[in-house]
Amino acid sequence: MFIAATAILAACHCDNHCPKPPHKAPAPKVPYGNSAFIPVDSANKMILSYLTSINYQQNDTDLDCLTIDADTMRAYLANPNVKKIKVMFAHTLEYINAGGGNQYCGYQTGALTVIMACYDSMNNYVYYQAPQSPGINMVMDHSAPCPSNCAHGGSAASNVLIQPPPQRK
């Protein structure tokens, strides 16, 4: 959800030419540090706005979402010095090595990824030190682009967030 929200927030290269939304009362948020948890219905409204803008039902080349392996994220966040995560858009190495380096790719699946680097309370990067690669500073990559690497089955296969049924007591 974190990555999907980040992709949605950066989805429009507006440069002052996107329509300005009418002023409405903001959806309720639950602050959590600098970020916030928002209601699923608000997130779905945001997600569907982006998906509709790229004509997702007929478009299988633009990114619908990016997924990150939770175990990889937990390993990086295990460092107690980590206070924030910086999410940066980047071209994939495959796109660059195929001749696309420094070329606009829009939101093509397979061309765009996110790099995530953590930083500490002094705003200095905190790199991951992989046990199998001692001395090499590492950051997170390898988000899986959807539509080519989407969840199959389960509620995560949906383009929107599915609410679980109420628990019976």
The pLDDT tens digits for 34-80 are: 566 777 777 788 788 888 888 888 887 888 888 888 898 999 999 99
* Within-domain flag for 7: yes
pTM summary value: 0.67
Q: Residue 162 falls within a domain, yes or no?
A: no
Residue 48 lies in a domain: yes
SS3 140: strand
Identify which of 55, 85, 65 has the alpha carbon closest to the alpha carbon of residue 159: 65
Domain residues for the domain of 118 are 2-11+28-151
User: Which residue in this structure is represented by tokens 């980590």?
Assistant: 82
Cα Rg of the chain (Å, integer): 18
156 in any annotated domain: no
Q: Is residue 21 part of a domain?
A: no
Helices and strands, counts by H and E, the chain: 4, 9
